[in-house]
Structure 1
Amino acid sequence: MLDNLTQRLAKVVKTMRGEARLTESNTAEMLREVRMALLEADVALPAVREFIAKVKEKALGEEVISSLTPGQALVGVVQRELGALMGADLGPEASQLSFAQQPPAIILMAGLQGVGKTTTVGKLAKYLKEQKKKKVLTVSADVYRPAAIAQLQSVTQQVGADFFPSTAQDKPVDIALAALDWAKKHHHEVLIIDTAGRLGIDEEMMKEIAAVHGAVKPIETLFVVDAMLGQDAINTAKAFNDALPLTGVVLTKLDGDSRGGAALSVRHITGKPIKFAGVSEKLDGLEAFDAQRMANRILGMGDILALVEEARKGVDEKAAAELAAKVKSGGKFDMNDFKAQLAQMKKMGGMAGLMDKLPAQFQQAAAGANMDQAEKQVRRMVGIIDSMTPQERAKPELIKAARKRRIAAGAGVQVQEVNRMLTQFEQMQSMMKKLSGGGMMKMMRSMKGMMPGMR
């Protein structure tokens, strides 16, 4: 996201060496680069103007401490103001959902068709169920789009939340009120209402969603917008903000956005905090939005906190403790354990997902690595293990020439691939003996050595 801005800032930092303070003349070039990068990223012109004015005001005359160059000092100002532009100045509590009402807390989802609203309802239900331990009910008030109700039912079932059925013959207000009554009777803590979207803004849609809002009086009204819409995102944000008392914004498809202007513009236009960001198509691909962390990512400083959270989500702590206990007590690390370790890495987003959250210098260091190739190799290794018998997985030392040929044929690979995988397994087994269940960094270094192109 906003890769262009990251590259432009890095270039200007290199040119601003040796000056003692930030002045109008030595910041002018950098501010011009920042302005161009923001406009190219589809950030709304009013937001760009205000942003540049604030950076200029804060930067001029700022002393450059001995550990920084003027360029680095200016990047610091840009980082703080980027965070403020996306809502960091509102404080961390602004991005939290409010549950301060008699249950159920009602969340109304608004937005155009095609922005990922229904999938986001499912993702939000999963987030609230798993992260906030809430009993969640979803309902679709979209009576126009074919299969909208069935789609919401499907994603709700996948995430393990409850679903209230509706039909295309019902009226949206009646659907919302019936779902609210059901939620109260069955002690749901949160009710999420998916509303109809259109391909464009029209008066009828705004009247309908305003009527639903008036009937159920939600504590949260979230505007869902596609981060790839660019300038169109600004127009729809303004229309919805005028029609509804929005409480926050959800940005979808942030992972597919090379420009990222919507993230910087929507908050400026609506004045409402960005509460969530969709970072992948998977149903767990929804993150609580943190403006300062997003500013760090834009500036190539990485998002180590997100990486730690990803690791915490991905690691099955009970399984990790059991493996540590097994190795400590002298038990052998076998193929089942090896497969479980590969699955853990996959749950953390795979190699590409992990690399995306690292600071720019680490990403550059691994620029030559073929992440797709690494992911493929992990999948191939799992396929080879799946072709083994339970006995072979428990006692890999049994695997000799004839067994290798059978396993290779079953996995659809060459025997050399099986040999390579067994070598990597032995490396991991040896490392496990030394670790006896500790040392995450050693574990990561070992995994790195196993991946093609990452040595």
Structure 2
Amino acid sequence: MFENLQDRFGSVLHNLRGQARLTEDNIKDTLRDVRMALLEADVALPVVRRFIDEVREKALGEAVVKSLTPGQVLIKIVNDELIKLMGDANAGLDLSVPAPAVVLMAGLQGSGKTTSVAKLARLLKERHKKSVMVVSCDVYRPAAIDQLRTVATEVGADVFPSRPDQAPIEIARHALEAARKGYKDVLIVDTAGRLHVDVDMMNEIKALHTAVEPVETLFVVDAMTGQDAANTAKAFGDALPLTGVILTKTDGDARGGAALSIRQITGKPIKFLGTGEKTTALEPFYPERVASRILGMGDVVSLVEEVQAKVDRDKAERLVKKLNKGKGFDLSDFKEQIEQMTKLGGMAGMMDKLPGMDKLPPHLKDQVNDRELVKLLAIINSMTPQERAHPAIVKGSRKRRIARGSGTQVQDINKLLKQFVTMQKMMKKMKGGGMANMMRGLQGRFPGLLPGGGLPPGGGFRL
């Protein structure tokens, strides 16, 4: 997400950094480029106008003109205004009511509402340790009830049974009573969507809202619809007391216009971003982190939080103990490291949050994709346990057999073994020195996963 904005803002701000001083003329030129970048990202025109006016007013202030680094000061103004545009701070769920707290999900058909119910249930269970029940009141869409049952079962949430021949209000009331009797912390109600906003839909969801009195009413909207996402959210907001928005399919939206428009048009905060199809792909929305990503400064805080939440600590500790005992790092360990990376959204998900990635040339960006991770896993899975434990024995005939089994070429096997040797040398630095020594040795490098073996300038970590 925000790929187009990152590219445009990157070139605009790069020119700013070289300015010895700012004048009305070069501020005007800069703001014209910023305006075009926002419009191309499908940000609503009234929002663009307000944003440009705010930046211009502050940019022409005395503090900027007299600064020794006026370009940097103007970049900070743009950053601060982006944060302000999106809502200043993260707006979390307010569940501080007697249980069960009811969360009502609204939105158009195809926006990802049902999947978002499962994602939210998983997040509440895993991060907030809440017991969750879900219920489908969508009696119109074929298989909607079965879909919710499937995805909710996957995340371990209780499902209140409903049938297409029942009235939505009846379903909701019975589910609320069941959640009370079952001592559930949260009840998430999935409602019916339509292809467009209509009177019947609004009347039904108003009645549902009155029946269950939700503490949170979340509007689920597809980010790829751009300005229409903000306009649809406003239509729902006029009919319902919305408390926030879940912006879905952000992994497929390179523009980011919806994220920058919704708060200003609706007055409602974006609370979550849907970042993929998996039930783990739901992130709390932090305006300051998103602004940082738009300006090419990455979002290391979110990346660290994901590592803490998703990396299997038991496996990591076992690997550390194994290395400290002098046992070698083998291909089974390498496989585990790749699997851990896929839990973090793969290389695409990590690159989006690492600083300096906007400076990576386009032809290199195209080479960095998660298909490489899938290929590496296929190759290792085609090896015998003996070959994984002793990679040195993988020679001619074994390489050809592994290539056939994994649907790859012998040169792919050679490439993996070369990457493994590099990683093996780095892992040796953990012995006696812990993870800190290994990270210092890495110096921001992730061998074999980026073209050339490393991150661009500014893309590494310092400990």
Q: Return the TM-score normalized by structure 1.
A: 0.91
Residue aligned with 2:303, SS: helix
372, 376, 383: which is aligned to 1:388? 383
> 1:260 Cα deviation (Å)?
1.7
Could you tell me which residue of structure 2 aligns to residue 247 of structure 1? 243
CA distance in 2, matches of 1:153, 1:372: 38
CA distance in 1, matches of 2:373, 2:36: 41
Could you tell me which residue of structure 2 aligns to residue 454 of structure 1? 453
> 1:300 Cα deviation (Å)?
1.9
Could you tell me which residue of structure 2 aligns to residue 375 of structure 1? 370
Q: Cα deviations across residues 411-441 of structure 1 (Å, max 9, x unaligned)? A: 3444444344334333333332232252235
Could you tell me which residue of structure 2 aligns to residue 49 of structure 1? 49
Please tell me whether the aligned partners of residues 246 and 270 of structure 2 are also in contact (alpha carbons under 8 angstroms): yes
Task: Sort the Cα spacing of 1:315 and 1:14 in 2 relative to 1 into closer, same or farther, 3 A.
Answer: closer
Matches of residues 288-327 of structure 1 in structure 2 within 5 Å? 288-327=284-323
CA distance in 2, matches of 1:296, 1:49: 21
Could you tell me which residue of structure 1 aligns to residue 174 of structure 2? 178
Could you tell me which residue of structure 1 aligns to residue 420 of structure 2? 425
Could you tell me which residue of structure 1 aligns to residue 186 of structure 2? 190
Indicate yes or no: 2:234 matched with 1:238: yes
Deviates more, 1:241-250 or 1:60-69: 60-69
> 1:30 Cα deviation (Å)?
2.0
Residue aligned with 1:63, SS: helix
Task: Sort the Cα spacing of 1:452 and 1:156 in 2 relative to 1 into closer, same or farther, 3 A.
Answer: same
CA distance in 2, matches of 1:404, 1:53: 63
Q: Which runs of 5+ in 2 are unaligned?
A: 455-463
Equivalences, count: 449
Letter in 2 for 1:353: G
Deviates more, 1:195-204 or 1:309-318: 309-318
Q: Cα deviations across residues 365-400 of structure 1 (Å, max 9, x unaligned)? A: 464436656633433332232222233333444545
Task: Sort the Cα spacing of 1:441 and 1:375 in 2 relative to 1 into closer, same or farther, 3 A.
Answer: farther
254, 260, 283: which is aligned to 1:258? 254
Residue aligned with 2:341, SS: helix
CA distance in 1, matches of 2:412, 2:233: 53
Indicate yes or no: 2:439 matched with 1:440: yes
Task: Sort the Cα spacing of 1:62 and 1:376 in 2 relative to 1 into closer, same or farther, 3 A.
Answer: same
CA distance in 1, matches of 2:358, 2:231: 35
Task: Sort the Cα spacing of 1:125 and 1:450 in 2 relative to 1 into closer, same or farther, 3 A.
Answer: closer
Could you tell me which residue of structure 2 aligns to residue 29 of structure 1? 29
Q: Which runs of 5+ in 1 are unaligned?
A: none
Q: Return the TM-score normalized by structure 2.
A: 0.89
Task: Sort the Cα spacing of 1:44 and 1:435 in 2 relative to 1 into closer, same or farther, 3 A.
Answer: same
Please tell me whether the aligned partners of residues 10 and 358 of structure 2 are also in contact (alpha carbons under 8 angstroms): no
Please tell me whether the aligned partners of residues 139 and 192 of structure 2 are also in contact (alpha carbons under 8 angstroms): yes
CA distance in 2, matches of 1:389, 1:2: 43
Could you tell me which residue of structure 1 aligns to residue 153 of structure 2? 157
Q: Cα deviations across residues 26-74 of structure 1 (Å, max 9, x unaligned)? A: 4222222222322232222222222222222222224248986433322
> 1:18 Cα deviation (Å)?
4.4
Could you tell me which residue of structure 2 aligns to residue 224 of structure 1? 220
CA distance in 2, matches of 1:68, 1:254: 38
Please tell me whether the aligned partners of residues 64 and 74 of structure 2 are also in contact (alpha carbons under 8 angstroms): no
Task: Sort the Cα spacing of 1:345 and 1:75 in 2 relative to 1 into closer, same or farther, 3 A.
Answer: same
Please tell me whether the aligned partners of residues 374 and 452 of structure 1 are also in contact (alpha carbons under 8 angstroms): no
Identical aligned pairs, as a percentage? 56
Could you tell me which residue of structure 1 aligns to residue 85 of structure 2? 85
Please tell me whether the aligned partners of residues 139 and 165 of structure 2 are also in contact (alpha carbons under 8 angstroms): yes
Letter in 2 for 1:246: L
CA distance in 1, matches of 2:213, 2:362: 50
Letter in 2 for 1:107: V
